[in-house]
Homo-oligomer: A and B are copies of this chain.
Amino acid sequence: MQKQQSKVDNEYFAARCRENGLRITPQRMAIYRMLAGSRDHPSADAVFRRIREEFPSISYDTVNRTLLTFARIGLAEIVDGPGGPRRFDLRTEDHHHFHCRKCGRIVDFQSADYDRLQIPSEIRDRFTVLDKKVVLSGLCDRCIS
């Protein structure tokens, strides 16, 4: 019984695959649905272990390679974190992160103020900026001892 979020959008998924010349396979669909139903920025391994319950023949590789492919075509994003395993998220509307230094949990939040931030011209003139995110870090409620 998967907790599904309303984010799942098979049309959108299929369109993105087609426009990038990617075939629509059962593995890719399962991985997309699993990501859409996860709120916790899972690693490739976490996605693999969850998917295997409903798709036992899938391999870790396929999961990992598919997640990288999704990131490459902009369907998913690689979440910034303090090293360690790469973690993934579905690319969605603007959101920001709070990151717990102790347990590694990442919590999303929205902020209209943060969304309105301008890019400094020093950066805008030199680089192509594709994303803007505020990252707060500290200790989460579970970790304050």
Contact = CB atoms under 8 A, between A and B. Distances in A.
A109 interface: yes
User: How many chain copies does the complex carry?
Assistant: 2
A99 interface: yes
Interface stretch (A4-12, A16-24, A52-60, A117-125): A117-125
Contact of A117 (B79, B82, B84, B134): B134
A138 B133 CA distance: 12
Nearest to A129: B138
A111 B129 CA distance: 16
A40 interface: no
B84 A81 contact: no
A128 B98 CA distance: 10
A139 B118 CA distance: 17
A134 B133 contact: yes
